[in-house]
C-alpha cells in the first residue's frame, strides 16, 4: 500500500537539503493541491510531517497528499516569483487565488506623429509614446481624457482619420480639440499643449496654471483679446478639473494603497492607485481563500500574484503587515529595476489613506455577500425549475449575431455563484464556408463543436471547473436538437441543456423552455428564476451584438491600401491626398499612379497590379 499524508511527506524530507525553492503537493489523481515557497525546503516541508498541531485546512491538505514535487532555486526571491507563477498557472485548491487579473488601462500620448494623439491604451506597451497610469477602470481613464481635452484641446482621432479630414470635426466646434488636422494651430503651439498635458499628468498642475495665467496677461497687454479669452477658458477648465478630483494626497506621489477585509470566509481587497499625487481610481478584488487563512497570508499572496504581470509603483501601502515583506520587496524591486517599498503605516496621511481603503473594502464585501446569497438562492431555483441534481456552479449561455449572414459571430457568457464571470466570456468568429448565410442552426453547431472539442482536449477527465453544469441556448426545439446532436457525437451526454425561446408574440415574460425529453413549458411571469434567465440571455445577446458590431466596424474601416506591401503612412497619405479615397486609388490607371509624389514607377505598378488582380 502506497504511503500518503504525513508518512509520505516524512519520506521526502529525508531527501531534501536546506536550499530555497518551491514545493507542490498533489493528490491521488495528480491534481495540484498546494504550491508553496521556502527559504529552506527541508525545514519548511518537515513541518507538514508533524502528526499534530495543524489547522483543519492544513491537516486535510496533508491527508490528501499522495505525491510531492520540488524545484530548487538559487535565491529566495526566485522561489517567490516561481511560486506565484505556478499558482496562477495551476490554480491549486488550497492556495489563496486572485481570480480577476485583467490589465489596467493607461493614457498614451503618442510620439510618432507631428501632432501627437492622446488616447486610452490597454495591454502591452508596444506603441511608441509616453504612458501614464495605471487607472482603475476605463471609466476613470475616459473621465481624465475628457478633462484633458477640455483643458489642452489635444486630438483623440486616429491617424487615418486625421489624414483624411478636410474641415474641423465636432470636437473642434465644442472646444475639445484645437483642429490641427486642418491647420487651425501650428506644430509649435500644439506641441506646447502636449507638453503641458504631460506635465499635468505628472502632477505639475500648479506650474501649468501659473504659466497659463502669465500667458493670458501677456496676450491681454498685447491686445490679443481672442487669445486671452481662450487662455482664460483653459484656466477655468483646469480649475474645474482640480475641483472634481476631490482630495488628493499631499505627501504620497506614487503608491498603490492595498487594504484587505476578511469576513465569513470571504475576502475583499481594495486597491487605490495614487500617481503624481492624484487618485486615479480604485478597484476591488475578491480572492479565493479558505476560512482559516490569515490576513498576512492572504495579503502576501495577493501582492505576489497581482504584480507578477504588472509593474509595481515605488510604494505599496498595506493594511496589514506581512511575514516576508523583505523578500516581497526584493522581488518587486528586481522586477521593476528600482526600489519598491512596502509600508504598514500607523499614523499620518498614509494611515488615513489605508483607513479609507479599509472602509471601502468592508462595505464592498458586505454588498457582495448580500448579492452572493441572492445568487445562491437563484441558482437553487434554476436547479428546481430545470430538474437538475444540484445548483449549477457554472452556467454557459450561447447566442449568435449576424446581419443576413454577414460578419457572423457566436458568443458565450458564463454565470455562477459570483455572478457573471466576464473574464471567461468567449467569442467565436464563424468560419464555416459551407454555411448558408443566416443559418442559425449551422452556426450554433459550429460554436458548440469548437467549444466542446476544446474542452475534451484540455480537460477530458473533467477535473477543472471549466466544464459547464448547464447550457442555456438562445432558441427553441431546433437549436436544442442541433446542440444535442453535437454533444452526442462528441460523447458528451451528461451536460444538461435548456433552450430559451421568446414564446407567444416574442414577448418578454412569455419565454418557453425546451429540454430534451420534456414537453415545452413556461415559468410564472413573476418568478425570480424567470428574471434571472432573462438577465443571462440578455447579457449573452448584449455580448454577441457588441462582438458583431466590432467585427463589422473593423471590416468597414479596413483600408485596402494597408494590404499592399511597401505602402507606409507617408505613401498612403500621398495617395489619399491625390485621389481623395482608397476606392479612387483602386480605379486609377498606371499613369495617374505614377504622377503621385513619392510613388515610383515600380510602386505604381505594384499598386495597379494589386487592385487589378483583386478585381
**Beta pairing partners, 397:** 413, 472
Q: Are residue 567 and residue 546 in the same domain, yes or no?
A: no
Residues 511 and 567 reside in one and the same domain: no
Q: What pLDDT sits at residue 228?
A: 77
Q: Are residues 322 and 294 in the same domain?
A: yes
- Shared-domain flag, residues 186 and 326: no
Q: In the prediction, which pLDDT does 262 show?
A: 95
What are the backbone angles phi and psi of residue 610, rounded to the nearest 5°?
Answer: -60, -50
Phi-psi region of 479 (alpha: psi -120 to 50; beta: other; left: phi over 0): alpha
pLDDT band (50, 70, 90) for residue 244: very low
User: CA-CA distance, 47 to 73, in Å (whole number)?
Assistant: 20
Expressed as residue numbers, the domain containing 602 is 560-614
pLDDT at 246: 45
Whether 466 is covered by a domain: the verdict is yes
> Residue 292 region, left (φ>0) first, then alpha (ψ -120 to 50), else beta?
alpha
Q: Which residues pair with 258 in a beta bridge?
A: 271, 318
Instruction: For the chain, give the mean pLDDT.
Output: 85
Pick from 223, 244, 265: which residue ends a domain? 244
Residue 615 has pLDDT above 50, yes or no: no
User: Residues of the chain with pLDDT > 90: what percent?
Assistant: 38
Q: Contact, 520 vs 514, CB < 8 A?
A: yes
pLDDT in tens, 102-152: 778 999 999 888 999 999 998 888 888 999 888 888 888 888 888 788 888
Rounded to the nearest angstrom, the gap between the alpha carbon of residue 350 and the centroid of all alpha carbons in its chain is 29
User: Which helix or strand (DSSP H or E) is residue 441 part of?
Assistant: helix 440-458
CATH number at residue 450: 3.30.420.340
Q: How many domains does one find in the chain?
A: 5
Asked if residue 374 belongs to a domain, the reply is no
One domain for residues 258 and 327? yes
Which of 58, 90, 122 terminates a domain? The answer is: 90
| Each residue's pLDDT tens digit, 525-558 | 888 999 999 999 989 888 888 876 776 666 555 5
Residue 376 located in a structural domain: no
**CB of 129 closer than 8 Å to CB of 116:** yes
Both 447 and 581 in a single domain?
no
CATH code for the domain in which residue 265 is found: 3.30.420
527 lies in a domain?
yes
Residue 330 in grid coordinates: 526584493
Percent of the chain with pLDDT over 70: 90
pLDDT of residue 256: 94
The torsion angles phi and psi of 168, rounded to 5 degrees, stand at -60, 145
Q: What is the pLDDT of residue 597?
A: 86
Do 457 and 402 reside in the same domain of the chain? yes
Domain end point (choices 226, 244, 262): 244
Q: Are residues 446 and 584 in the same domain?
A: no
- Rounded to whole angstroms, how far apart are CA atoms 575 and 498? 55
Look at residue 461 and tell me if it is in a domain. yes
Q: Which CATH number covers residue 593?
A: 1.10.150.20
Q: Is 386 contained in some domain?
A: no
In this structure, is residue 385 part of a structural domain? Answer: no
Q: What is the reported pLDDT for 344?
A: 95
Whether 588 is covered by a domain: the verdict is yes
Same-domain status, 550 and 403: yes
My answer on whether 78 and 148 are in the same domain is no
Do 258 and 187 have their domain in common? no
pLDDT, one tens digit per residue, over 412-454 is: 999 999 889 888 899 888 776 665 655 677 788 888 888 998 8
State the cell numbers at 112.
510618432
pLDDT of residue 62: 94
- In this prediction, residue 509 carries a pLDDT of 60
Amino acid at each position: 500500500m502506497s504511503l500518503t499524508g504525513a508518512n509520505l511527506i516524512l519520506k521526502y524530507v529525508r531527501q531534501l537539503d536546506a536550499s530555497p525553492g518551491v514545493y507542490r503537493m498533489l493528490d491521488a489523481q495528480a491534481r495540484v493541491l498546494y504550491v508553496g515557497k521556502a527559504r529552506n525546503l527541508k525545514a519548511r516541508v518537515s513541518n507538514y510531517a508533524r502528526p499534530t498541531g495543524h489547522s483543519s485546512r492544513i491537516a486535510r491538505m496533508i491527508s490528501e497528499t499522495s505525491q510531492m514535487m520540488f524545484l530548487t532555486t538559487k535565491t529566495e526571491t526566485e522561489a517567490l516569483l516561481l511560486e506565484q507563477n505556478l499558482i496562477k498557472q495551476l490554480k491549486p485548491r488550497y492556495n489563496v487565488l486572485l481570480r480577476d487579473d485583467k490589465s489596467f488601462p493607461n493614457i498614451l500620448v503618442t510620439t510618432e506623429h507631428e501632432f501627437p494623439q492622446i488616447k486610452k491604451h490597454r495591454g502591452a506597451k508596444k506603441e511608441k509614446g509616453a504612458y501614464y497610469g495605471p487607472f482603475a477602470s476605463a471609466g476613470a481613464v475616459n473621465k481624465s481624457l475628457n478633462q484633458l481635452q477640455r483643458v489642452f484641446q489635444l486630438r483623440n482621432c486616429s491617424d487615418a482619420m486625421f489624414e483624411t479630414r478636410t474641415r474641423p470635426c465636432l470636437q473642434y466646434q465644442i472646444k475639445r480639440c484645437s483642429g490641427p488636422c486642418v491647420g487651425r494651430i501650428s506644430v509649435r503651439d500644439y506641441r506646447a499643449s502636449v507638453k503641458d498635458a504631460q506635465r499635468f499628468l505628472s502632477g505639475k498642475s500648479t506650474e501649468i496654471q501659473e504659466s497659463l495665467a502669465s500667458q493670458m496677461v501677456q496676450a491681454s497687454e498685447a491686445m490679443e483679446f481672442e487669445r486671452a479669452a481662450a487662455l482664460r477658458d483653459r484656466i477655468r477648465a483646469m480649475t474645474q478639473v482640480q475641483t472634481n478630483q476631490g482630495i488628493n494626497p499631499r505627501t504620497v506621489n506614487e503608491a498603490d494603497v492595498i487594504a484587505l477585509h476578511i469576513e465569513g470566509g470571504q475576502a475583499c481587497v481594495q486597491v487605490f492607485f495614487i500617481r503624481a499625487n492624484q487618485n486615479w481610481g480604485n478597484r476591488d478584488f475578491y480572492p479565493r481563500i479558505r476560512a482559516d487563512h490569515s490576513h498576512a497570508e492572504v495579503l502576501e499572496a495577493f501582492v505576489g500574484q497581482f504584480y507578477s504581470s504588472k509593474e509595481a509603483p515605488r510604494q505599496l501601502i498595506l493594511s496589514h503587515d506581512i511575514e516576508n515583506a523583505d523578500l516581497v520587496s526584493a522581488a518587486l524591486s528586481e522586477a521593476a529595476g528600482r526600489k519598491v517599498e512596502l509600508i504598514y503605516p500607523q499614523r499620518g496621511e498614509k494611515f488615513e489613506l489605508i483607513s479609507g481603503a479599509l472602509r471601502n473594502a468592508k462595505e464592498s464585501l458586505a454588498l457582495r455577500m448580500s448579492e452572493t446569497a441572492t445568487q445562491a438562492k437563484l441558482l437553487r431555483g434554476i436547479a428546481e425549475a430545470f430538474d437538475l441534481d444540484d445548483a449549477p456552479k457554472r452556467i454557459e449561455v450561447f447566442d449568435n449575431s449576424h446581419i443576413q449572414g454577414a460578419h457572423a459571430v457566436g458568443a458565450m457568457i458564463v454565470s455562477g455563484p459570483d455572478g457573471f464571470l466576464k473574464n471567461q466570456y468567449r467569442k467565436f468568429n464563424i468560419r464555416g464556408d459551407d454555411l448558408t448565410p443566416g443559418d442559425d442552426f449551422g452556426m450554433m453547431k459550429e460554436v458548440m463543436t469548437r467549444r466542446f472539442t476544446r474542452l475534451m482536449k484540455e480537460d477530458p477527465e473533467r477535473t477543472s471547473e471549466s466544464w459547464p453544469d448547464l447550457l442555456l441556448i438562445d432558441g427553441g426545439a431546433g437549436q436544442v436538437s442541433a446542440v444535442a446532436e453535437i454533444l452526442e457525437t462528441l460523447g458528451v451526454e451528461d451536460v444538461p441543456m435548456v433552450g430559451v425561446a421568446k414564446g407567444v408574440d416574442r414577448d418578454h415574460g412569455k419565454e418557453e423552455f425546451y429540454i430534451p425529453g420534456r414537453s415545452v413549458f413556461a415559468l410564472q411571469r413573476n418568478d425570480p428564476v424567470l428574471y434571472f434567465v432573462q438577465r443571462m440571455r440578455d447579457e449573452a445577446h448584449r455580448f454577441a451584438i457588441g462582438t458583431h458590431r466590432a467585427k463589422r466596424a473593423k471590416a468597414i474601416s479596413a483600408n485596402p491600401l494597408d494590404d499592399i506591401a511597401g505602402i507606409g503612412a507617408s505613401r498612403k497619405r500621398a495617395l489619399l491626398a491625390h485621389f481623395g479615397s482608397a476606392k479612387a486609388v483602386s480605379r486609377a490607371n498606371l499613369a495617374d499612379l505614377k504622377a503621385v509624389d513619392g510613388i515610383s514607377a515600380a510602386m505604381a505598378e505594384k499598386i495597379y497590379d494589386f487592385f487589378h488582380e483583386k478585381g
